[in-house]
Amino acid sequence: MTACVAEEPIKKIAIFGGTHGNELTGVFLVTHWLKNGAEIQREGLEVKPFITNPRAVEKCARYIDCDLNRAFNLENLSKEMSEDLPYEVRRAQEINHLFGPKNSDNSYDVVFDLHNTTSNMGCTLILEDSKNDFLIQMFHYIKTSLAPLPCYVYLIEHPSLKYATTRSIAKYPVGIEVGPQPQGVLRADILDQMRRMVKHALDFIHHFNKGKEFPPCAIEVYKIMEKVDYPRNESGEVAAVIHPNLQDQDWKPLHPGDPVFVSLDGKTMTLGGDCTVYPVFVNEAAYYEKKEAFAKTTKLTLNAKSIRSTLH
């Protein structure tokens, strides 16, 4: 008999759209749900749709002063509120007050943070903790429900890369990333996929709260290893672009010696090292400023114990 982890029932859920104001699927869905939220309501649950960065949404820009999705570190959240603070730091404090405080018993149980990427990532779930049985079980449920449509899990647990995401105020933070979609554009297929991901996630929580026991499961995840910058010249300008063989090949194996970049004079740069990696966020538009051409990941399997709600 395998051990069953008893978890507290879920009570409060938030669905964030517009953390980046030019990623329109989340903005569009959350705006719709604020007017008519019937499809996201579940018995016994408080589900709150919320536009996180309204000024950026109004301008259809990623952010106003700084990236809201990197602003939720304890240093920013504890700064004295003042008009001199960057807009997104002030907004982070407001969101932390409404849905947190971060790392407290009073914070929302689950935050779904809805994002688009210009990269060919398909349906992607972002996991921050490889030992979280509840989230692994949820992601397994979503992946199974979406099949045969692929759904990938990106694990951003890393000793030195700290993200301080908007969703990190919740006990169970869930990043939902769907692409490819250009910034400032809506696509019906991407919209439908994100909507289905949210539906299945809410269904999972509903079943869990009703006492359904989820047996042990395993999921395949792609764990971040490192970020790779574009080749640059002495002035720091981009000197080569993503090679055509790598473009749109998110999640596909990339072997040492495979072409990665190509310069305007036709020089090809290849992957170094001695191991196969899996690239993600390949040529993401928003990451040029972050000096990230793609991230290397390694593929591994995470296991979760059986879980059920303590109510039953």
What are the residue numbers of the active site? 177
Give 297's contacts (C-beta < 8 A, 6+ positions apart): 154, 155, 222, 223, 224, 225, 277, 278, 279, 280
Q: How many helices (H) and strands (E) does the chain have?
A: 6, 14
Residues belonging to the chain: 312
Residue 147 one-letter amino acid: A
CB burial of 295-311 (b: ≥16 within 10 Å; e: otherwise) equals bbbeeeebebebbbbee
Residue that has been written with the tokens 């055509």 in this structure: 244
End-to-end CA separation in angstroms for the chain: 18
Binding-site residues for substrate, in ranges, read: 69-70, 163-167
Asked if 254 and 226 touch (Cβ cutoff 8 Å), the reply is: no
Asked if 41 and 47 touch (Cβ cutoff 8 Å), the reply is: yes
Please tell me the distance from the alpha carbon of residue 250 to that of residue 252, in angstroms, as a whole number: 6
Token pair in block for residue 100: 């947190």
Please tell me the distance from the alpha carbon of residue 77 to that of residue 231, in angstroms, as a whole number: 35
Binding-site residues for Zn(2+), in ranges, read: 20, 23, 115
